[in-house]
Chains A and B, each alone.
Chain A
């Protein structure tokens, strides 16, 4: 009896194996249609929707290509890409973070060199200078910049009116000096007893680099081979002045280590918890929808107006079987039409010189998103924008920079000690990059 059961069981198992072998999904690929895998991350549902609409349009224009879009989480995007490439099954086209993955992947020879494709359709001189520095590696191009985003100064006009403070300008030539900025921040700080219920400003500790540059200092030398913070008194001075906003003057709340702790900075600005906010230009998309009078200005300056830019690139895997079709997709993603869809909604800023001319601005300026006078910010993006330092150094080094700066922001360590530690730890990594 027992043995017969076993025999039956074996038959069943064999049947199952046979069936599962025969159940391979049948590829129902239309003839001559090239299927491209395209992988991105979801920054917001709006962005994904925009990408999907764009791809739909692309497939209408290119009936011989079918694009399959996979949107994951940003935090895992590059890890996933890395393992997919290692397994020889990477998507043909993908988003690639500029800091630092574009150069890290390129260095390892997994990106398709698209220089000749690019030159046949685009002119690198059309791109804003910052993007040229980002995209071109040793004279070659391995990815096309999607757009540009940079920290700017947002403010709640209502709080400004109440405090009787004039608005900061969007024109970089009229950028507030540090003194004027500090004065405004003080006026915008409201106390109830000894508890502050409204702070002047938030966000400088998240984006300290532009202020270091503005004061004529730097954390790294020009070619990013060395950390020079210990020998840059101007950089240290800027950092101390930023910390003073919170520690000495009490006009800034404690920086949340993660932006998603509790209320988002945007919500703090909207609900009048802070008067000014330093955040990426992308935040305008959300801020414009939050139904409060939001204004945008350039960052305050010490000596020169400056901010740092970045944004993801669209790149092609070297192992793709369809380089030509993949390029057509990247070319479409680099088109003015595709870019301006996101620009008009406040998420992106354009990365072409001509889109910052008087006529160019008309193509995207959207009164329901961009506050009055926003067009004056044009020069900020064409003249005063520098590439984000993390574009040029390995992630590990950038993490150490932030870790050491955290000790300065949050653990009361003196700036000189922090600078020494930082250089000592970062320099060996920069040397081997």
Chain B
């Protein structure tokens, strides 16, 4: 009896004093959050993608029917195409501009903090506010852009109501909104580069451009990889600006996958179908990221 008690209290005691136990306890808020709000829904929605489910009536197992339907759904293909268009339009230009900005704002000039803050401001501004203000700027008759274009005798397009211009218009806003975030990461990357390299290059007679090309760019490649991967993932997931500015229109010309997915799940009562789209999207992001890591071996310099 006494032995038993001693043993059990020792057991508890040894658990209470073990590092692994404490690691889990202190991680548990985060871990539980991940399990309950991320992993479980992810697994559940994979299951849902094989069902017909409207949230209100019992779900029906339909096998791979949702995926087969996707194949024939022209709205899906259009949304997929729009997602790729959006990504190709946003990422390369966005990354290039934010790199240039980061270099510009890495100088010792007056008011540098102000400029950094100014470029970072759109990142922390809510997408709703950004979307609404830009809607005003884009207004075909009374907006700022077309006013400026009129000054040089160009009749501006009906930005957000034209099937041709709506997507470029959204892309422009999203580049502007994302600049600051990438810029900050690039800035951090730039400041990691030791001055000795530049000093050595200067002694060797390198000019500014050569220093950028042979020192800054190569040493920034790990940062660039990170920025590119993150940008592509987040542009595949874009939703908020489009939801606010165009609602996927006109004529679905700005409907991206996540927007269509949302519509299917919550407006069309097709939760299963929406989940199937989500998994196709997951696969796309996964493959895109995998390819990037593969190819990164050839251009990353650590």
Chain A residues near B (Cβ < 8 Å):
3, 6-7, 9-10, 13, 78-79, 82-83, 85-86, 104-105, 108-110, 253-258, 260-263, 273, 394-396, 399-400, 402-404, 406-407, 409-411, 425
Say whether B251 contacts A410, CB under 8 Å.
yes
DSSP majority for the A interface? helix
For residue B246, CB closer than 8 A to chain A, the reply is yes
Give Cα A83 to B270, complex, Å. Answer: 13
For residue B223, CB closer than 8 A to chain A, the reply is no
Contacts of A407 in B (CB 8 A): 163, 251
DSSP majority for the B interface? loop
Say whether B141 contacts A262, CB under 8 Å.
yes
Say whether B55 contacts A3, CB under 8 Å.
no
Say whether B268 contacts A395, CB under 8 Å.
yes
Say whether B55 contacts A82, CB under 8 Å.
yes
Give Cα A6 to B57, complex, Å. Answer: 50
B150 and chain A: residue at smallest CB distance:
A195
Say whether A261 contacts B56, CB under 8 Å.
no
Say whether B163 contacts A261, CB under 8 Å.
no
Give Cα A376 to B132, complex, Å. Answer: 39
Q: Please, what's the 1-or-0 string for B109-152, where 1 marks a CB less than 8 Å from any CB in chain A?
A: 00000000000000000000000100110111111000000000
- What are the nearest 6 A-B pairs in CB distance? A262-B139, A406-B251, A86-B55, A108-B56, A79-B266, A257-B161
Say whether B55 contacts A254, CB under 8 Å.
no
Partner of B136, one of A7, A108, A262, A404: A262
Say whether B135 contacts A6, CB under 8 Å.
no
Contacts of A257 in B (CB 8 A): 160-161, 166, 246, 249-250
Give Cα A104 to B57, complex, Å. Answer: 12
Say whether A109 contacts B267, CB under 8 Å.
no
A397 and chain B: residue at smallest CB distance:
B268
Chain B residues near A (Cβ < 8 Å):
16-17, 22, 25, 54-57, 74-75, 132, 135-136, 138-143, 158, 160-164, 166, 245-247, 249-252, 263-264, 266-270
A399 and chain B: residue at smallest CB distance:
B263
A84 and chain B: residue at smallest CB distance:
B55
Number of A-B pairs whose CB atoms are under 8 Å? 106
Say whether B161 contacts A261, CB under 8 Å.
yes
Say whether A254 contacts B158, CB under 8 Å.
yes
Give Cα A427 to B299, complex, Å. Answer: 52
Name the distance in Å between B71's Cβ and chain A's nearest Cβ.
Answer: 15
Q: With A257-B161, A258-B135, A261-B161 known to touch, is A6 a contact of B22 (CB < 8 Å)?
A: yes
Give Cα A107 to B154, complex, Å. Answer: 53
Q: With A255-B161, A261-B135 known to touch, is A109 a contact of B263 (CB < 8 Å)?
A: no
Name the distance in Å between B268's Cβ and chain A's nearest Cβ.
Answer: 4
Contacts of A394 in B (CB 8 A): 268-269
Contacts of B139 in A (CB 8 A): 256, 261-263
Say whether B268 contacts A258, CB under 8 Å.
no
Say whether A262 contacts B143, CB under 8 Å.
yes
Name the distance in Å between A229's Cβ and chain B's nearest Cβ.
Answer: 16
Further contacts, 16 of them, CB under 8 A, given A108-B57, A394-B268:
A86-B56, A108-B56, A110-B56, A255-B161, A257-B160, A257-B250, A260-B132, A261-B139, A263-B139, A396-B264, A396-B268, A403-B251, A406-B250, A409-B250, A410-B161, A411-B164
Say whether A85 contacts B56, CB under 8 Å.
yes
Give Cα A86 to B266, complex, Å. Answer: 12
Contacts of A406 in B (CB 8 A): 163, 249-251
Give Cα A399 to B263, complex, Å. Answer: 10
Contacts of B250 in A (CB 8 A): 257, 406, 409-411
Contacts of B266 in A (CB 8 A): 78-79, 82-83
- 25 A-B pairs, CB-CB below 8 angstroms? A6-B16, A6-B17, A79-B267, A82-B56, A82-B269, A83-B55, A85-B56, A110-B56, A253-B141, A254-B140, A254-B158, A254-B161, A255-B161, A256-B161, A257-B166, A258-B247, A261-B138, A262-B136, A262-B139, A263-B142, A396-B268, A399-B263, A404-B251, A411-B162, A425-B74
Name the distance in Å between A259's Cβ and chain B's nearest Cβ.
Answer: 11
A396 and chain B: residue at smallest CB distance:
B268
Give Cα A93 to B226, complex, Å. Answer: 50
Give Cα A3 to B251, complex, Å. Answer: 66
Q: With A83-B55, A410-B162 known to touch, is A7 a contact of B16 (CB < 8 Å)?
A: yes
Give Cα A3 to B21, complex, Å. Answer: 13
A406 and chain B: residue at smallest CB distance:
B251
Give Cα A256 to B57, complex, Å. Answer: 38
Contacts of A104 in B (CB 8 A): 269
B269 and chain A: residue at smallest CB distance:
A104
Say whether B17 contacts A3, CB under 8 Å.
yes
Q: Which of A254, A258, A395, A411 has the most C-beta atoms of chain B within 10 angstroms of its own C-beta?
A: A258
Say whether A262 contacts B135, CB under 8 Å.
yes
Name the distance in Å between B276's Cβ and chain A's nearest Cβ.
Answer: 15
Contacts of A425 in B (CB 8 A): 74
Partner of B267, one of A258, A395, A400: A395
Give Cα A250 to B156, complex, Å. Answer: 17
Contacts of A410 in B (CB 8 A): 158, 161-163, 250-251
Name the distance in Å between B30's Cβ and chain A's nearest Cβ.
Answer: 15
Give Cα A7 to B17, complex, Å. Answer: 8
Contacts of A6 in B (CB 8 A): 16-17, 22
Partner of B25, one of A7, A13, A79, A109: A13
Name the distance in Å between B254's Cβ and chain A's nearest Cβ.
Answer: 10
Give Cα A403 to B268, complex, Å. Answer: 15
Give Cα A255 to B136, complex, Å. Answer: 15
Name the distance in Å between A395's Cβ and chain B's nearest Cβ.
Answer: 5
Contacts of B246 in A (CB 8 A): 257-258
B140 and chain A: residue at smallest CB distance:
A254
Name the distance in Å between B258's Cβ and chain A's nearest Cβ.
Answer: 15
Give Cα A256 to B156, complex, Å. Answer: 15
Say whether A109 contacts B56, CB under 8 Å.
yes
Say whether A403 contacts B249, CB under 8 Å.
yes
Give Cα A86 to B57, complex, Å. Answer: 9
Partner of B252, one of A258, A263, A403: A403
Name the distance in Å between B12's Cβ and chain A's nearest Cβ.
Answer: 11
Name the distance in Å between B26's Cβ and chain A's nearest Cβ.
Answer: 9
Give Cα A308 to B135, complex, Å. Answer: 29
Give Cα A403 to B166, complex, Å. Answer: 14
Give Cα A79 to B143, complex, Å. Answer: 33
A405 and chain B: residue at smallest CB distance:
B251
Name the distance in Å between A316's Cβ and chain B's nearest Cβ.
Answer: 15
Name the distance in Å between B28's Cβ and chain A's nearest Cβ.
Answer: 10
Give Cα A206 to B141, complex, Å. Answer: 18
Say whether B251 contacts A260, CB under 8 Å.
no
Give Cα A105 to B55, complex, Å. Answer: 11
B73 and chain A: residue at smallest CB distance:
A425
